[in-house]
């Protein structure tokens, strides 16, 4: 069975440019997460989806970040415009049951974003 798929794996852009990341979760997983991981830090939650609904986006910088999960399957995270401080690894994860804190999360390989 395929794991969580993310693309692209790497992205280099200049500041003020837009960028988008795509994630396809494990089939049947209703919950999808986007995390940001800075160097030497643990992942920090940006947004959590239950099916199509964003149930926790409190940490998403809404002035420049947006996300969508149409049809409750794959998801896109967008940054527009990107800033130097957005350089990080963006991780997507999914889990089976809706929002249960004890569920293990399955992570994709991440997209390493470098903003110049």
Partner 1 sequence: SQKIEQNSEALNIQEGKTATLTCNYTNYSPAYLQWYRQDPGRGPVFLLLIRENEKEKRKERLKVTFDTTLKQSLFHITASQPADSATYLCALAGGFQKLVFGTGTRLLVSP
Residues that bind partner 1 (CB under 8 A): 4, 40-45, 48, 56, 91, 93, 99-102, 104-110
What span, in angstroms and rounded, lies between the C-alpha atoms of 113 and 116? 10
Q: How far apart are CA 61 and CA 9, in angstroms?
A: 22
Looking at the Cβ atoms of 1 and 70, the one nearer to partner 1 is 1
37's tokens: 């991981």
Sort residue 83 into left (φ over 0), alpha (ψ -120 to 50) or beta.
beta
Based on CB atoms, which residue is closest to partner 1, 37 or 66?
Answer: 37
Min separation Cβ 1 and partner 1, Å: 15
| Contact criterion met (CB below 8 Å) for 59 and 45 | yes
- To partner 1, the closest distance from the beta carbon of 97 in angstroms equals 11
Nearer Cβ to partner 1, position 14 or 53?
53
Q: How far is the CB of 55 from partner 1 (least distance, A)?
A: 9
């Amino acid at each position: 069975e395929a794991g969580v798929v993310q693309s692209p794996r790497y992205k280099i852009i200049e500041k003020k440019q837009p960028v988008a990341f795509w994630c396809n979760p494990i089939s049947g997983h209703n919950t999808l997460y986007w995390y940001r991981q800075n160097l030497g830090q643990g992942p920090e939650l940006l947004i959590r989806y239950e099916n199509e609904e964003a149930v926790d986006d409190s940490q998403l910088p809404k002035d420049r970040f947006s996300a969508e999960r149409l049809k409750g399957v794959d998801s896109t995270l967008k940054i527009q415009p990107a800033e130097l401080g957005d350089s990080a690894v963006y991780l997507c994860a999914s889990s089976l049951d809706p929002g249960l804190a004890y569920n293990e999360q399955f992570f994709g390989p991440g997209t390493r974003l470098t903003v110049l």
